[in-house]
Amino acid sequence: MAKLLLKLQRYFRRKPVRFFTLLALYLAAGSLVFLHSGFSGEPTVPGSPRSPAAAEGPGLPYLGVMQLSRGFKAAATMPAGARRHGPWFKSTSKEPLERGKSRDNGGPRSRALRGRSGREKEEDRARYIGCYEDNTRRRTLRGMSFFDYKKMTVFRCQDNCAERGYLYAGLEFGAECYCGHKIQASNASESECNMECKGERSNTCGGINRLSVYRLELAQESARRYGSAIFRGCFRRPENISIALPVSQLMLNMSVDKCVDFCTEKEFPLAALAGTTCRCGFPSTLFPLHEREDEQLCAHKCAAEEFESCGSAEFLLVYQTQVQDNRCMDRRFLPSRAKQLVALASFPGAGNTWARHLIELATGFYTGSYYFDGSLYNKGFKGERDHWRSGRTICIKTHESGQKEIESFDSAILLIRNPYKALMAEFNRKYGGHIGFAAHAHWKGKEWPEFVANYAPWWATHTLDWLRYGKKVLVVHFEDLKRDLFVQLQRMVALLGVPACEDRLLCVEGQKDGNFKRSGLRKLEYDPYTPEMRKAISGYIRTVDAALKLRNLSGVPEDYFPR
């Protein structure tokens, strides 16, 4: 051994450059290992023994986190709240499969008839309105488009257009999907839409330069888009309109485009069409956009566009432009050290990152984290790098569920989400990143069943532990936050001890999406949950529901049941 060391010493004396090169590589490798450990903080899995009866709920023996042998990486999910439509429509039938099995091999006419019969059964999600001409130089539907020459289906095209808020979805050449807000072409003969869908031969997907067009029955009209603008709805004229919408312009040839462009140029986030007058402004207490009217009251045709509505003097059609409302965009650290530590606690995949985004906009202060995620820091969550006990942030994100960790906080906002959605969101994050998707092989392989077996019990014990050990816990359901953001955000801000400025909260409503929103383009087209999984998860839901009601809180939202 001594001879070997002597030889190495003589070798490096003769060639010092190689010695320093190896030394530099060694130090670099050590630095990378250190940085990696800093970026992937994991919630600890407490292992202290406790009485099984301590947090036991009906129908579920206590499944304390000590039974979950693996650590769980911190999740920072985007909200489905950011997703505008969530599960836009659901089909529990096996109809597509049955149509595929009973398919005959007739000509274009029989395929068109089959397609129409399928369309009649799909009225709850979209209405087929006909075959239309298309042109590669001037498209009939001029919104988003995408192609899939292997797996295109009517469902997939409709769902992706609906998620982005478009009014129409059109399929062409068996594999092309186009979205838009108005149809800018003439009808064609039904026989000209004669090509089978590449991923669903029982349905028709247009033809050569021909579109099979569907009118989408949107679940949330408030998410409708018009090009770059977002449709907010039909609203009654505010009393002090000159104050509520201070800038206006007479437009005899009114169209949505012209009004949106005018208000964008004037740098206002709202464009309101009032017949031949275009008005611009901000959401405010005078015009909060909370009481929508029936759209038929605004259904007055535009002078310049036959297919568009332009509202009237009494009922305004309102669009949100691309102009950013800066009244809620300023953020900073707390001016003095916080006296209390407030947790923003959730199970991974329950929308914690989205809630942080909303809280930062509503309060003007950064949120912190029990972990450190470099990608979140780079997206603007500057409190991510602070130690969670620094006292410089308004609240602390955590997925912890052990007694010791929970008792470290003086109060908490407990965010709860439907476990079916939360599990899928966390699985996508785990295998695809914050806004990516797990690969098809992961869903179909052993990873998904193992993930559900490990994480589903934790969904229940996480809530039970926070209800049991938390000192002052405000329960917020993710679904309620999406449905009534203004009211739920008021509750959250009140717990944080920050005065709630109403105009600032209205500003947050217009900036609610944030940077972590998954596209629906790769959304699963099947239910990944087996009957056994659903049976187990239903038991966990009942347990959490009972635990909430025992504390005189409302139970879980109704859409958790049945499954």
CA distance 432 to 234: 39
CA distance 373 to 397: 11
Tell me the three-class secondary structure of 235-298, residue by residue.
Answer: EECCCCHHHHCCEEEECCCCCHHHHHHHHHHCCCCEEEEECCEEEEECCECCECCCCCECHHHH
Which is more confident, 307 or 284? 284
User: Mean pLDDT across the chain, nearest whole number?
Assistant: 79
Give the tokens for residue 148.
Answer: 């899939």
Supply the DSSP symbol for 172.
Answer: E
As a residue count, the chain comes to: 563
Closest CA to 300 of 291, 289, 288, 309: 309
Query: Which range, 116-120, 125-129, 261-265, has the best average confidence (pLDDT)?
Result: 261-265
With 90 as the cut, is the pLDDT of residue 535 above it? yes
User: Three-state DSSP class for 500?
Assistant: coil
Burial class from Cβ neighbours inside 10 Å (0-12, 13-18, 19+) for residue 69 reads: exposed
Lowest-confidence pick of 27-41, 106-120, 234-248, 394-408: 106-120
CA distance 518 to 435: 5
What local confidence, expressed as pLDDT, does residue 466 receive?
96
What local confidence, expressed as pLDDT, does residue 220 receive?
44
With 50 as the cut, is the pLDDT of residue 82 above it? no
Which is more confident, 113 or 256? 256
With 70 as the cut, is the pLDDT of residue 266 above it? yes
Helix, strand, coil percentages, rounded to 5, for the chain: 40, 15, 45
Give the distance from CA 404 to its chain's centroid. Answer: 32
Structural contact between residues 152 and 206, judged by C-beta atoms closer than 8 angstroms? no
User: Three-state DSSP class for 116?
Assistant: helix
What local confidence, expressed as pLDDT, does residue 341 receive?
95
CA distance 138 to 185: 9
- For 386, other C-beta atoms within 10 Å of its C-beta total 18
What local confidence, expressed as pLDDT, does residue 40 receive?
42
Tokens 């609906």 appear where? 162
Structural contact between residues 370 and 400, judged by C-beta atoms closer than 8 angstroms? yes
Query: Could you tell me whether strands 396-398 and 342-346 are parallel, antiparallel, or unpaired per DSSP bridges?
Result: parallel
CA distance 72 to 451: 11
**Average pLDDT, stretch 334-353?**
94
Lowest-confidence pick of 13-17, 478-482, 523-527: 13-17
What local confidence, expressed as pLDDT, does residue 514 receive?
67
**Average pLDDT, stretch 399-424?**
94
Helix (H) or strand (E) holding 230: strand 229-236
CA angle 251, 254, 257 (to 5 degrees): 115
Which is more confident, 188 or 25? 188
CA distance 27 to 168: 58
With 50 as the cut, is the pLDDT of residue 157 above it? yes
Enumerate residues 6+ apart whose C-beta is below 8 A from 453. none
Beta strands in 393-478 (DSSP E): 396-398, 411-416, 473-477
What local confidence, expressed as pLDDT, does residue 522 receive?
55
**CA distances in angstroms from 144 to 88, 178, 418, 466, 525, listed in the order given:** 18, 6, 30, 43, 20
Which is more confident, 50 or 18? 18
In this predicted model, what pLDDT tens digit does every residue of 200-233 receive, in sequence order?
888 999 999 999 999 987 544 444 556 668 888 8
Phi, psi of 230 (to 5 degrees): -110, 125
Tokens 């023996």 appear where? 61
